Copies of this chain bind each other. A is one copy, B any other.
Amino acid sequence: MKILFGGDYNPEQWPEEVWKEDYRLFDLAAIDTVTLGVFTWGLTQPAEDVYDFTVLDAVVGRAAAEGRTICLATGTGAHPAWMARAYPEVTRVDFEGRRHAYGTRHHSCPSSPAFRRFSALVAGRIAERYGDVVTAWHVGNEYGGACYCGLCAAGFRDWLRARHGSLDALNDAWYTRFWSHTFGDWDEIEPPSALTEHWRGPDHTAFQGITLDYRRFMSDAMLANFRDEKAAVRAFSDAPVTTNFMGMYQPIDYHRWASDLDFVSWDNYPPDDVSYARMAFTHDLMRGLKGGAPFWLMEQTPSITASRAVNPVKRPGVMRSWSWQAVAHGADAVLFFQMRASRGACEKYHGAVIGHAGRDDTRVFREVAALGAELRDLGGLTVGARTPARVALLFDWDSWWALEMTDGLNRHLRYPEIVLAYHRAVWSAGADLDAVPVTADLGGYDVVLAPALHLLKGDLAARLAEVAARGGTVITTFLSGLVDEHARAYLGDPPLTSLLGVRVDEWDAREPAVVNPVSFADGTAVDARLHFDLITPLTAAVEGTYGADFYAGTAAVTRNEYGGGAAWYVGTVLAQPGVDALVRRALDRHGLAGPYPDVPDLEVAHRVTAGGVPLMFLLNHRDEPVEVVADRDATDLLTGTPVTRGAPLRLAPRDVLILR
């Protein structure tokens, strides 16, 4: 057992003579794992009645013969061209109401009977044929997008019947007396799209209720596709089944999916080349999907991503550093897309371990091979390790959706950015964090963050109050807890009122350029922007006050003693230093900050091995070296260097230490 290393490998694109060279290079780079067959449907089922495993037999057979760990895909990430022609229903109708013809990928209607039948069939055939050599199953690929066709409309109506029971309940949930929208027949309900309830795109809807439900339905419809294939696989193989998630991917509520996956895997394509803090959060979020269990980093690029407008190359050391970061946050596998660069099509310039020239002396290959050696030398110690976090951050797709599709707020507010600011404060302080669903057991956490948790479900209000009641700290912000699961406003005092000890009758919104400075008791002042709650403290103490506008001097940030604990309320978008300061106060109250909270961009993360051994990961994300004082006697697992408590500890630029 060790951390798996390798990635997506598409030898079916190449003549077999190339394969030999590939494996020679894999050996050079200590690559032990290949993900095969992600887009092979057209190859394995070249016509409706023809299955042809000639090529896949060779591909899988060679990988097995070479002794690699095999993650085998069902290959259904793109349907074959013949299927779109024979069954036009398999292609999607987009948000604009247009039926697509054959092309690209991620293009199958999740409600299509043909797609569902054929995808399960091919998945079963593959599982039957290769079950004995496969370590893990990779179903579909990066599920996402949405379809608005008639079949989906019918499926939506069925889903609504099951959810709401009656049209009366649905009309009540969606608040359809507004704008004369009462539905008198299920068949009157159309998917919410540019042709029905929306204008200016998916975030502008006349009724949040229908749009929220459609997103839930669409997430469930694709989950049904996953289940179709998983069931077909399970009939022939007990190997664990996953599909590759995409981190903070808005269209799919991964919390609705997590229990169906045997383990979580995800593709890490950060939006730029400086977002290591963001990535730390995304790893935590993916780890949180299954209660903290380790995950696979299913894809990352060794160098550039091809799909953005501007694609910067990963600087020297960055690929290594980010790979170890994944391990620090719970990865049991470090995999790349892709092993060899395609000759053609839109990903031909996407980074690859082996480039078009096929060389083993490129910078990229050398860095990959060096990492491979490190991973091989480390062995299995971290496999199965857990993160000992006492800080939880509630992440909620429903709140994300609701916040960004609701009129009357500030359209510049983006849920992930708000969440990331609170995560970053914890990350900077060096405290471990679990990003968990609102249904998670909060019993083990000292600090619970619930930024911008607009939509309140179930008994969460009570459970948050319990956190404070037992001495913990809750931190939440503007717009939290204002609407129920149907995005209907709470009437009277909303559920979090007594915990927070404040009332908010109204808010102001301003363009991004407008700054209102918020002053704290310690004399500091930080910029606030975009959204400004006008707060009436009830039982809460005022911690920060606005400095400008007609609400100058009124509360912007409050803290309410509650039971043995406290609840913070932040009524505005504070600049990062403000968020850092108040989160730090909460962490310090519980003694949760790491050893180096004041060293910028020095990441600290902990894991506890299956055998109970605590490990501390230190990652220097800076382009300069950093030196700190060791807080323990330890050994660096990557170099074997002993570390003495109190002695200087030096990390080169982008370097990583794993202290045992």
List residues of A whose CB falls within 8 A of some B CB.
Answer: 10, 12-13, 39-43, 46-47, 75, 77-82, 84-85, 96-105, 174-185, 187-190, 192, 194-199, 204-209, 303-304, 306-307, 309-313, 315-316, 341-350, 355-359, 362-364, 406-412, 486-493, 503, 505-511, 530, 534, 549-550
Contacts and interface: CB of A to CB of B under 8 A. Distances in A.
Given A178-B344, A341-B489, A348-B406, 6 more contacts: A13-B178, A40-B180, A81-B182, A207-B345, A311-B509, A312-B510
A414 to B, nearest CB: 13
Nearest to A409: B349
A interface secondary structure, majority: loop
A207 B530 CA distance: 42
Contact of A208 (B47, B344, B488): B344
A172 to B, nearest CB: 9
A45 to B, nearest CB: 9
A207 B311 CA distance: 19
Contacts of A315: 549-550
Each complex incorporates copies of this chain amounting to 3
Among A78, A316, A349, A412, the most chain B Cβ lie within 10 Å of the Cβ of A349
Among A98, A176, A183, A312, the most chain B Cβ lie within 10 Å of the Cβ of A312
Given A195-B100, A407-B347, A304 B509 contact: yes
Q: What are the 6 closest A-B residue pairs judged by CB atoms, nearest first?
A: A349-B408, A175-B344, A103-B196, A306-B408, A42-B180, A309-B411
A502 to B, nearest CB: 13
A216 to B, nearest CB: 16
A418 B332 CA distance: 46
Contacts of A364: 505-506
A356 B490 contact: yes
9 contacts: A41-B180, A42-B180, A103-B192, A104-B197, A208-B345, A315-B550, A348-B488, A356-B489, A364-B506
Nearest to A549: B315
A456 to B, nearest CB: 14
Contacts of A355: 505-506
A432 to B, nearest CB: 31
B96 A47 contact: no
A103 B410 contact: no
A177 B507 CA distance: 55
A504 to B, nearest CB: 9
A190 to B, nearest CB: 5
Nearest to A94: B195
A506 B101 contact: no
A552 to B, nearest CB: 12
B349 A406 contact: yes
Nearest to A190: B101
